[in-house]
Amino acid sequence: MMDTRRLRAAIFERSGIAIDEHDPIMAVLAASAEQTEEIGERLLSRTSPVRIVVAVTVAAAIFAAAGTVIGKVVAEQRFGAERAEWLREQSDPRMTALLQSEQGRAGVRLAELGVAALLANCNGRRSWSVQDGYCVPATPDGRPDGFRVGDNRVLFKDGT
């Protein structure tokens, strides 16, 4: 007869039910545990480490291939959507003319940097104001804020 102490301890640990050693259910559980161990031993004796390594490698290769295929499909879909958007933008003659101008390219660069909205709304600095539809930075006394270029050198508002 098998020692049932470990089996009873496992049942108690998982279910909280204490089973007496002489309870008839213990004989059924012990027989089931013995059969499970026997089946496990038979399966292990039939397998070799080489077979296990080969099976794990094949499974990993299948999952890697599936992941690669899914990634490629998603990338192609994204590329197709981006290309369609680019073609739609290029078909607009106003956008083409804008991107061909120096100011248009500068505006696109400012938008890429995230500065365009600040300039468009004139809210980058407290001293900015709108004059004739342009954002003009100025100090409280009305003079331009920033710098001016003259004589191949930069002059700041304090004259340095």
Residue 154: the pLDDT is 44
Compute the residue count for the chain: 160
CA separation for the pair 94, 91 (Å, rounded): 9
CA 126 to each of CA 119, 134, 137, 152: distance values in angstroms, whole numbers, following the listed order: 12, 15, 9, 30
Beta strand extents in the chain (DSSP E only) = 128-131, 134-137, 147-150, 153-156
73 or 33, which is more confident: 73
Residue 127's nearest CA partner among 118, 119, 136, 116 is 136
Which segment of 44-48, 105-109, 135-139 scores lowest on mean pLDDT? Answer: 135-139
Full-model pTM:
0.31
CA separation for the pair 59, 148 (Å, rounded): 69
Residue with tokens 């342009």: 134
Q: Which residues contact 18 (CB under 8 A, 6 or more apart)?
A: 8, 12
Percent of the chain residues topping a pLDDT of 70:
71
Residue 60's nearest CA partner among 48, 68, 70, 50 is 68
Q: What is the pLDDT of residues 51-66, one digit of tens each?
A: 888 888 999 999 999 9
Question: Domain limits of the chain?
Answer: 5-46, 122-160
Residue 49: the pLDDT is 80
User: Where residue 91 falls among pLDDT bands split at 50, 70, 90?
Assistant: confident
10 Å Cβ neighbour count for 119? Answer: 15
Q: What is the pLDDT of residues 22-33, one digit of tens each?
A: 777 777 877 887
Beta bridge partners of 137: 128
CA separation for the pair 37, 115 (Å, rounded): 70
Residue 9: the pLDDT is 81
